[in-house]
Each structure stands twice: as structure tokens, then as C-alpha cells.
Chains A and B, each alone.
Chain A
Amino acid sequence: MAYEKGQQLPLQTFRVTRADLVRYAGASGDFNPIHWNERTAVGVGLPGVIAHGMYTMALAGRAVTGWVGSADAVLDIGVRFTRPVPVPDTDEGTEVEFTAVIKSVSEDGLVTFDLTAICAGEKVLAQARVVVKQI
């Protein structure tokens, strides 16, 4: 797919539940209890259990590989974590919505995506930028 500067990418929505966070803790090795223990999370002043920032970043990676249609296209991915993603103890959990705009397309086929990630109406990432090599 040929991208153009300024092009908007379609919305992708990912559901996040407590079970996802437990599975991610095990797979990543990040067992910080604020990501699975309500008592600890509330005790440090959070609204409740929050997603690993790295889980949200992994979803950003999925959004981009989904748009591009290529799982190995990402050359560079960087984000700033601006707000936590609270994950309630319900079957539905919460949702993170991703959109993006193409910031640039280089002559050698590198495409830069500027991502927006929204949870419960708030931006949870800033400066979320992903560079892919165009196929």
C-alpha cells in the first residue's frame, strides 16, 4: 500500500481486561503489583489496577502492523506515557482506541506514523511515533 503524507488511518480498537494484564505480566516479566493487585494500586494513589505502559505500547505496535499488513515492518517505535489506562475488574475491562496520520514518507520507502491512543476519552500516549519500511 502506498502511503501519502497527511493520510489518516482507520480506527482500531483493542479490549484490555485484567486477565490480559496477568498474562502480559507473566510473558514480559514485569510483575509490578499495580498491574494486578487493586489493594497495591489504590495504596499508591491510583484509581485502581492500571495496564502496563508496555502493554499499551504493544497494542500500538499491533495497530501499526495491522494497518501496514506486515508483522515485521517496524523499524522504530517510540512513545511517551501520559496517562494510566485503568482496567476495571469486569468481564469487559476497558478499550484503547488507536488512530494515526502519516507524518512523512521518505524517498527510500520509510513511512512515519503519528499515533493517537485514547482510553475513556483521554489520550494515554504522546509523541507516539512509529517508522516502518514500506513493502
Chain B
Amino acid sequence: MPLDQSFTGRTYPPTEPYQVGREKIREFATAVGAADALYHDVEAAQNAGYRDVVAPPTFPIVLSFAAMEQIVTDPELGMDYTRVVHGDQRFSYRRPIVAGDELVVVSSIDDITHRGGHDFLTTRAELATPAGEPVVTVVCKLVVRGQGE
């Protein structure tokens, strides 16, 4: 059954603040093979003008992926996550994420379309400080493959 297009424009409640840890940034950077000093070395980051180590460009997926649970498990929307394929992904920065940041995620559904038997869902996650300073916008397009062959 196609997704209900009236969910377009729906915004979900903000997540609890996520504490960006120095070791989590190092762990993520190591996992993607990024050895740059800014991601690992506090002194190097401070010499570059940052309070602490800087997160690699795709790090916000750690927060936005977890926050998207709200959408994919929304019983009213009724997505079959076993049929979901990742279509597009984008991160648009106001400033880099730095260890010690606290970030709140607000997820929204920007678009739902149905064509060729598949659903196309565009989600947006706004990552901001608890005080409301916007940091990163994360846009994720998902394809929910139809049941028909």
C-alpha cells in the first residue's frame, strides 16, 4: 500500500540532546579510515581554532540515523523498513561539529511521492544546539520498493 502522502510536512518532536564525544569522533574517523589530525589530535584542533577535535563530514549520520527511527517506526506512517533502499544523502553545514557539542535533532518529512510502484520519501533532520544555533541540515531520500513485480 502506498505511503500516505498527507504525512508530507510532518515534523517530529526534538530528540534528547546528543553529547558529541571526543572518543566517538575518533572512533568514527578511524572507522572511515580518516587519519587527519583535526579528527584525532586535540592540540592540532586547538591550533586550528577549534575547542576540541572536529568531526568528519559524514559524522552527523550517527545522530540523524538514530533520529530517523521516529519516522520509520511511526505506526501511523507504516513503512516496511525491510523494503527501504537508501537513495540520496546530503549534509549541509553552518559550521563543523566539534567534540563537546550538544545537538538536538528535529526530523521532518519533506516529501512523499509514489511512482513506478515505489514510494519516495524525503526526510530532513535539522541538527542544532539546545539554544537553537543551527549546525547541520541532513537530507535523506529513501526508496520504499513496491511489493509488485
Contacts and interface: CB of A to CB of B under 8 A. Distances in A.
Given A54-B58, A58-B58, A61-B56, A24 B93 contact: no
B120 interface: no
A71 B54 CA distance: 8
B57 interface: yes
Contact of A81 (B37, B89, B91, B93): B89
A74 B34 contact: no
B34 A65 contact: yes
Contacts of A23: 30-31
A72 interface: yes
B42 interface: no
Contacts of A79: 88-90
Interface residues of A, number: 31
A24 B61 CA distance: 12
Nearest to A79: B89
Given A71-B56, A76-B92, 16 more contacts: A26-B27, A27-B28, A27-B62, A28-B65, A30-B61, A54-B86, A55-B32, A57-B58, A59-B33, A61-B56, A62-B33, A65-B57, A74-B93, A78-B90, A80-B87, A80-B88
Interface string A20-58: 100110111110000000000000100000000111011
B contact patch SS = mixed
Interface of B: 27-28, 30-34, 36-39, 48, 50, 54, 56-58, 61-62, 65-66, 82, 85-93, 96, 139
Given A20-B33, A58-B58, A27 B27 contact: yes
B32 A24 contact: yes
A118 to B, nearest CB: 18
Contacts of B82: 44
Nearest to B90: A78
Give the interface centre of A28, A29, A71, A79 by most chain B CB atoms within 10 Å: A71
B118 to A, nearest CB: 15
B28 A77 contact: no
Minimum-distance CB pairs A-B, first 6 = A78-B90, A27-B31, A71-B36, A58-B32, A61-B57, A71-B38
Nearest to A54: B61
Contacts of B33: 14, 20, 59, 62
Contacts of B30: 23, 27
A127 interface: yes
Contacts of B92: 75-76, 78
A30 B89 contact: no
